[in-house]
A and B are shown apart, each in its own frame.
Chain A
Amino acid sequence: DTAVSQTPKYLVTQMGNDKSIKCEQNLGHDTMYWYKQDSKKFLKIMFSYNNKELIINETVPNRFSPKSPDKAHLNLHINSLELGDSAVYFCASSPLGGSSTEAFFGQGTRLTVV
């Protein structure tokens, strides 16, 4: 059983399209995240949800809209895709509390905008 699973693994789409990435975790964690990893491999936090509530929203364009229907799911919808959105997007989850909390990551979704 995969702990954190994302779909799709690969996504190729044209500029201007709208796309969604789905994430599910079966670890019972309270907190879920979206990270973006650029071509230089820098992993930058985008959003964090705790029990379906948005708690971290880094300076991300409002074309990106996360949604958490329940604490086990966190989806990412992207409107009007741009070339610069091409990256690998990672979903992660962690239990709430403690400064040494481990984050568990999905396998990533490689988004290519053409």
Chain B
Amino acid sequence: TQLLEQSPQFLSIQEGENLTVYCNSSSVFSSLQWYRQEPGEGPVLLVTVVTGGEVKKLKRLTFQFGDARKDSSLHITAAQPGDTGLYLCAAIRGGYNKLIFGAGTRLAVHP
């Protein structure tokens, strides 16, 4: 059982559609991060959410941290082929900056 459960595992949609991916846990986190990984590259940080209930926007991407700080969602409006990639949520667990990841959501946006 993973500490961070992401859903769905795979998502294949047409350009222009909206989508939401989720990151859930039974644990409480002081913050949660979202990364995007493109093929052949390492993950790149998109956003960090810190406060329960917080909403952050990054162009067409909207990130929300659950009120209880156990879950987070990423909503993409009018998806574009450039949004294709692996979306990973991550959180610090324990001391020493131990950054753990969920299994990710693989998103494919078709023209």
A interface residue numbers (CB < 8 A to B):
4, 31, 33, 40-45, 48, 50, 55-56, 90, 92, 94, 96-97, 99-108
Total contacts A-B at CB 8 Å: 70
The answer to whether A105 and B97 touch (CB under 8 A), given A40-B103, A43-B88, A99-B92, is: no
Which residues in B have their C-beta under 8 angstroms from that of A92? 42, 99
Contacting residues, chain B, for A104 (C-beta < 8 A): 45
If A40-B103, A42-B103, A101-B92 touch, whether A96 touches B43 (CB-CB below 8 Å) is no
| A101 x B97 contact (CB < 8 A) | yes
Give the residues in chain A near B45, CB-CB below 8 Å: 102-104
Q: Offer 27 A-B interface pairs, CB within 8 angstroms, sorted by A.
A: A31-B97, A33-B99, A40-B103, A41-B37, A41-B104, A42-B103, A43-B101, A45-B98, A48-B97, A55-B96, A90-B42, A92-B42, A94-B97, A94-B99, A99-B29, A99-B31, A100-B30, A100-B92, A102-B33, A102-B45, A103-B43, A103-B90, A103-B99, A107-B41, A108-B40, A108-B41, A108-B42
How near does chain B come to A12, taking the closest CB pair, in angstroms? 16
Residues in A neighbouring B50, C-beta threshold 8 A:
99-100
Q: Is the CB of A42 within 8 A of B99?
A: no
- Give the size of the chain B interface in residues (CB under 8 angstroms): 26
Q: When chains A and B are docked, how far (Å) is the Cα of A101 from the Cα of B103?
A: 20
CB 8 Å contact bits of B14-55 with A (1 = contact, 0 = none)? 000000000000000111010001001111110010100000
Chain A residues, CB < 8 A from B31: 99-100
Judged by a CB distance under 8 angstroms, whether B100 is at the interface is yes
Which A residues touch B109, using CB under 8 A? none
Rounded to whole Å, the gap between the CB of B2 and the closest CB of chain A is 8
Q: Which 8 A-B pairs have the closest CB atoms?
A: A105-B42, A99-B30, A100-B31, A43-B101, A100-B48, A55-B96, A102-B45, A99-B92
The answer, among B33, B86, B88, B96, for a CB contact under 8 Å with A50, is B96
Those of B68-111 within 8 Å (CB) of chain A:
86, 88, 90, 92, 96-101, 103-104, 106
